[in-house]
A and B are shown apart, each in its own frame.
Chain A
Amino acid sequence: MTGNINSSIELNQEKFRIVGCENLDAEKINRKSITFWQDVWRRFKSNKVAVGAALLLLIITLLCIFGPYISGYEYEVIDKNNRNVSPNTTYWFGTDDMGRDLFSRVCIGGRISIIIGIVCTFIMITIGILIGGIAGYFGGLIDDILMRIIEIIGSIPRLIIIILIQILLGRGIFQLVFALTIVSWTATARLVRGQILQLKEMEFILAEHSLGASPSRIIFKHLIPNVLGVIIVRMTFAVPEFIFEEAFLSFVGLGIQPPQTSWGALAATAQGNLMFYPYQLFFPCLFISLTMLSFNLMGDGLNDALDPKLRQ
């Protein structure tokens, strides 16, 4: 209550005329209205770490696609005269114990690893959305049955199912994708179901219902856009998980089989030569780690950008 009158202000009768607040627009919204996705993009862009991770990912992907053409070496060509060559100007990443160019092999291996990561993610997300959506939207008995199945699958160690399926179907890239996806959709299904159950309770869905909106309108106009954010985040975290699992399985010899190769398989071969040629292990490991890192950092950035609670 210590309002000192600013002496520079001259007090006169003029100043004491009531103006009122009628023409003062107290509730004016100053912020320019932008859509949700514009806002997400703006926030993602301002996150330097996430953008850096996305760029790194782009570089790795481009390298995997075009790398073998730049190096000029075929990934499976054996050169008995150039075994275990350390990295130099001709062989950028050196050669392996059969004289194959490691740079080309890392790029080709990366293709397999990244493709497996992406393909598995898409299959997993599709199954997950479908089953989670059905369970959440219809509820009741269908929901109960589906949730029990999910519970049983969830209570078996995931890696063991993958290994069993590979024993049954043999080893190869398709079997691997099948095995990886069959165990992984449950988390997504749970997530989608939870989101839909939560949304179903929301007032705006009730309002739509009472206005006579058709189920398809509710699903496409409200449920999917609202679940989309969560799913995109889930996807960015799923890709590195699959890459990791593929690498893991290939490393113990249960994943990709020669002559095909992947980062995990490359690391497994190089592991035996660790004592003498550590560079052979270094490059595939570096690429796995960098890819996982950039996916995770990008996922964190997307998560922050998509969180409506953080919107300002």
Chain B
Amino acid sequence: MSTVTIDTFVNGQRVTRQVAPRMTLAEFLRDDLGLTGTKVSCEMQVCGACTVLIDDMPVSACTYLAADADSRRITTVEGLAHGDELHPIQAAFVENFAIQCGFCTPGFVMMTAALLAENPAPTAEEVAEYMDGNICRCTGYKPILSAVLDAAERLRGTE
């Protein structure tokens, strides 16, 4: 089977690789680049654990070919913080206790980044609707909802 060349920016760094057509973006990020913050769970685009941004749009890395990331910008949860300083979305998740086991958290954080880029001041209903495709089995969704609304406020404050 053939390979495909991809030339991409991952969290701001240029990455060029030969990949097999069947390699998913999740496999590329986790296995090739060691970016294991992106989690894989349902593998059906239902749970949202593997959410990353492609050119600022949220996608499920489990069902997205690495080949399709060619010429695109990929942002993973590792790309949010500045050194040891958490991104405001990450800080809001921590301070609102929106994390228990943490497995779903990178996906929720990346969905929050996507939502707030499109809609900096969402209502609680808009947050719930946008996050409908992300599953958490620990916290209940209320702390997550609070964290997203808090993150929105923090980000508006920094502008």
Partners in one complex: no
